[in-house]
Structures are given as structure tokens and as C-alpha cells.
Amino acid sequence: MLPQKLTMALNDQFNNELQASHSYTAMAAYFSKKGYHGFANFYLIQSREEHQHAMKFYDYLVTMDEKPVLQALGEPKNDYVNAMDVLQSSLAQEKDVTSNIYALVTLADELQEHSTLSFLDWFIEEQMEEEKMFRDIIARMAHIEEGGEYFLKMNDDFAERRLEN
Ligand SMILES: [Fe+2]
Ligand SMILES: [Fe+2]
């Protein structure tokens, strides 16, 4: 068992990760409709990764003899101005998740819950990588024209992304 306040916060993050997965699926759909199937693939993989993150929280709650509780998902943003808008929204979403993870770490630290601190270490590292990934893609995108040769090359590269694990 865990302190109730921590259980609730971990459960919220379980649901936040599901919401992130939901949101990335909407971004994939935006690119699918445009015919940029590589970008769509990139976002579908991203969505599945977020689902894996959610299940890490699920498993941790179960391990600690707590019950994961599903909350309603919010309607994600379904329309975007362009590819850059999707990428900027992705980075903003990841920054929000980083803040959520930091708040969880602070709470676990206050409560001296060392197993939870150890569990959350993986997520601190993951968020650093996620933010860097989107920053790097945005930096590349800033120099290329949507629909142009380099953009289509990126689309081809993104078609190759597979789920890691
Ligand atoms: Fe995540
Ligand atoms: Fe993420």
C-alpha cells in the first residue's frame, strides 16, 4: 500500500499518459488525412509508447497493492494549422508531462516513499529524451518547407519508426 495522496497522484499520471496517447493518435489522424503516412506512423508509434508509459503506472500501482482507476479521457485537439503546429503542440504536451512527473517526485520525496522515487527515475530520463526528440525535429522543420523535398524525405524516415521494447 501507499499513502492515499500518492496513490491518487500516481493514478492521475496513469490517466495523463493515456490522455497523451489519445492526443498523439489525433495528431496521427491529422497527418493520415493529409496523406503524410510517415508522419502518421511516427505519431501512432508515439501514441503506443504513451500507452506503454500508462501501463508502467498501472503495473506499479498493482505491485504496491493499489487499484488503477480509469478516468474519462478529454477530447484531444483534432485540428492543426500545419506540421509545425503539431510538433509545437507535442513539445508543449511533453513539457506538461515533465512538470507532472517532477510534482510526483516532489510528493514522493516529501513522503519519503523511496520505492516510488526509484520507479519515477525512469520517467525523468524518458522526459529528457522526449523533449529533446521534439526540439530536434522542430529545429529541422524550421529550415524546410512543408510538402517540399526535404519534408517528404522526413516523411519517408518517419515511416520506418517502430515500437521499441
Ligand atoms: Fe509518457
Ligand atoms: Fe511522451
Predicted local distance difference test score (pLDDT) of residue 22:
98
137 within some domain: yes
Predicted local distance difference test score (pLDDT) of residue 89:
98
Angle of helix 4-34 versus helix 37-63 axis, rounded to 10: 170
165 within some domain: no
Q: What average pLDDT does the structure give for the chain?
A: 97
Distance CA 61, CA 11 (A): 8
Q: What residues have CB less than 8 Å from 24, skipping those under 6 apart?
A: 43, 44, 46, 47, 50, 90
* Average pLDDT of span 38-44: 98
Of 126, 122, 116, 130, whose CA–CA distance to 9 is shortest?
116
Instruction: Please report which ligand is nearest the Cα atom of 90.
Output: 2
22 within some domain: yes
Instruction: Copy the grid coordinates of residue 145.
Output: 518547407
Instruction: Find out whether 164 is annotated in a ligand binding site.
Output: no
Domain total for the chain? 1
* Average pLDDT of span 143-156: 97
* Average pLDDT of span 80-104: 98
Instruction: Find out whether 50 is annotated in a ligand binding site.
Output: yes
91 within some domain: yes
Predicted local distance difference test score (pLDDT) of residue 165:
67
153 within some domain: yes
Looking at the chain, the whole-number percentage of residues with pLDDT higher than 70 is 99
pLDDT over 70 at 122, yes or no: yes
71 pLDDT tier (thresholds 50, 70, 90): very high
Taking the centre of ligand 1 as the mean of its atom positions, its distance from the CA of residue 98, in whole angstroms, is 9
40 within some domain: yes
95 within some domain: yes
164 within some domain: no
* Average pLDDT of span 18-24: 98
CATH code at position 140: 1.20.1260.10
Structural domain range at position 63? 4-159
Instruction: Copy the grid coordinates of residue 80.
Output: 492543426
Instruction: Find out whether 130 is annotated in a ligand binding site.
Output: no
